[in-house]
Amino acid sequence: MLLNGNVGTSNRQIWVVYSSSSVTMRCKNSGLRFIGGSFTGYLRMAYVTTRDLDPNAADSTARIQLLDRYAKFYPTGGTFAASMTSDTTRAAMNFNFQTNFPGNDSLLMIALPHHVPMLANSTSNTLKFKCLKGNMTEVYGKSWLMNENLTKVNWYPLGNLNAVPPNYRDTLFRTLVYDYDTICGARSFPYVPNGNNQPSNDVYGFGKTGAKYGRLAVIADELLSLGYPQCDSIGRNIRDTLKYNLNSWLNGRANPIILGANLRDSLMYDSKFGGIISSLSYDQGYYQDFGNAFYNDHHLQYGYWAYMSAAIARKDPAWVTQYGSKVVDILRDIGNPSSQDPYFTPHRMMDWYDGNSWANGMYDAGAGRNQESSSEAANAWYGMYLYGMATNNQNIKNTGRLMLASEMRAAHYYYHIDPNNSPYPLSYTNSYHIVGNLWHALITNSTFFGKKTRYVYGIQIIPTTPATEELWSHAYSKQVYDFALQYDSVFMRNGQITTGIFNWTTICVGAQAYAYPDTALAFYNKYRGFAGNFDGGASKTNVLYWILTRKFNPTIGIQQIGNEIPLKFNLYQSYPNPFNPSAIIKFDISQNTDVKVVIYDLLGREVTTLVNGQLKAGVYKTEWNAAGYASGTYFYRITAGDFSETKKMILVK
């Protein structure tokens, strides 16, 4: 028997209660109470509205009718599955639910905001449910089909060194030689951390240092391909040094770097909970290695290990033969996709419903699980994706690539705040345009180590890698950089700069260089040559690499307008026209293609390239800042596939 009772409480709330069989209940302010004997079956309750407070309370009848229709269908279990599309640019994801009516496809479930653009199912917005992450949407059917776009980034960003002028590449090469010398050259001092690029002594710190080495080796590979033959030996020697340090951990031996009196660290397999843990945390307690033995932060730590392993594997198949199975064990600890694996927990960190991972391990909290650094989480899956690519293991590659896409989508929705379209209250977004720590039921404007502005933003940037190109964007970086300076005068600024502040600026440069690459390049010169001014996972070379590839990246500053897919290619008249000093150029792209937008002077000489890369179908705009150019007539020309068009613009100063 179905019980459909509207229960009006003292605060004017209306709920509906459903029962699988006849039952007598009494409702008071203190709650519901069974009367008249025992009961076996299910009860379901649903909130409908709060009269006088809900502007849509008049919809209550429709809400109750919808709940009535689906009340008897409920899920009893579920599985997640995913597969690559034939063109490998997207993944087809499924939530498959089992129900109490196996032969019936009637099921009503609720989606979060990030699900909706991916969903192929029928949806509605009748119930008007909300949660911390925003307005929720009803989804119909026992199987959800979602299509996720996958990253295009691999070893190098889309905006890479090809577009950087030779004189700047020469500077980058000289910087790489400096970093190389402090790792395994004339200025290296084994096992003395800080200031000389030497390894740190804990799981997280070593991971950052090792990933830094790996990133330097990959940059050396790119420079080698552009005509710097010395980079062959530089990349090889950096990898050899990295292998010396990493192999000790992978062999299960104590880290050769002494932590303190009688303290050594190593990795060990935990047969009780199925994972790889730190011996120091297991022996010494929760606070060692950030609670690694309690499974805290595993992906945030081992993600760096995944990247360094990928950087080695890319050039050293013999090393993979010897150590590859141990690297895969670390990947199984954080991203095992198989529920049939008897040794490792499946998807220990990733929450496929929420879209993001959770970092805290085996302890509870009132607000649920939490994750501080969305960027370090993305880095874990980026490293996994690259290791699969380096070893030609399609399962590892595709698993990492999909997890990276999911993590980045969640970051865009729930960490990166658009003040004009945010689920969070104005009391938060008026002061912060990013989430410092995300919980199931809470957001905070702080980190576990403090709430300085550079900490809160920097923890969502670290580390700067090619994946940062998709995790962040020019528009969002500019918004964050401009906004954050109001609250932290030393956030990426000259002034009273301490070593600690320098460390964080080498992290926050990931956003600064995206927003204002010339400003970032000028500030870079303030770091001086001392490697200790750089965060443990950052290097002079990688910071400069990121600044230069942002400065000369011809797709930075392009903004897609809405979700419209135009029917044809089109180039609009720039505005304002005449202009001083900036003009907006808008254009339509009707299909995915390579696009180039170039500015010419009156004599037909090329002045600058605004766009030069592949764009998806859509409506775009870009901006030309002509502050450094003389008054006069200029022309802008678009080439997109077989389409080309030229228009005139006038600069008046």
Domain-by-domain residue ranges, the chain? 1-72, 74-149, 161-551, 559-651
Whole-structure pTM value: 0.86
Average pLDDT, the chain: 88
DSSP 436: S
Structure tokens belonging to residue 58: 């008049």
Which percentage of the chain shows pLDDT scores above 90? 60
Residues 470-490 have a mean pLDDT of 81
Report, as an integer, the average pLDDT of 38-42: 83
CATH topology of domain 161-551: Glycosyltransferase (1.50.10)
Angle at 164 between CA 162 and CA 167, to 5 degrees: 125
Nearest CA among 600, 581, 604, 591 for reference residue 642: 591
Q: Which CATH superfamily is domain 559-651 in?
A: Macroglobulin (MG2) domain (2.60.40.1930)
pLDDT given for residue 387 in this prediction: 99
Look at residue 212 and tell me whether its pLDDT is greater than 90. Answer: yes
Q: Which two tokens stand for residue 20?
A: 């699988």
Look at residue 637 and give its three-state secondary structure.
strand
* Cα angle value 340/345/348 (rounded, 5°): 130
Per-residue confidence (pLDDT) for residue 627, from 0 to 100: 63
Residue 651 predicted with pLDDT over 70: yes
Interval 411-429 mean pLDDT: 93
How many CB atoms neighbour CB 61 within 10 A? 9
- In terms of C-beta density within 10 A (0-12 exposed, 13-18 middle, 19 or more buried), how is residue 617 classed? middle
> How confident is the model at residue 253, as a pLDDT?
77
564: its two tokens: 């419209």
Q: What is the largest CA-CA distance in the chain?
A: 94
Q: Which residues contact 97 (CB under 8 A, 6 or more apart)?
A: 75, 77, 78, 107, 109, 142, 143
**Per-residue confidence (pLDDT) for residue 194, from 0 to 100:** 44
Q: How far apart are CA 206 and CA 197, in angstroms?
A: 11
Indicate whether 343 pLDDT > 70: yes
Between 173 and 505, residue with greater pLDDT: 173
Number of H helices, E strands in the chain: 16, 26
Tell me the C-alpha to C-alpha distance, in Å, between residue 293 and each of 272, 343, 626: 11, 16, 56
Contact 634, 601 (CB under 8 A): yes
pLDDT of residue 59: 82
The string of pLDDT tens digits covering residues 404-419 is 999 999 999 999 998 8
Of 355, 508, 351, 359, nearest to 437 (Cα)?
Answer: 359
Q: Give the pLDDT of residue 608.
A: 76
**Following DSSP, what letter does each residue of 127-183 receive, concatenated?**
S--EETTEE-EEEESSEEEEEEEPP---SS-SS-GGGS-HHHHHHHHHHHHHHHHHH
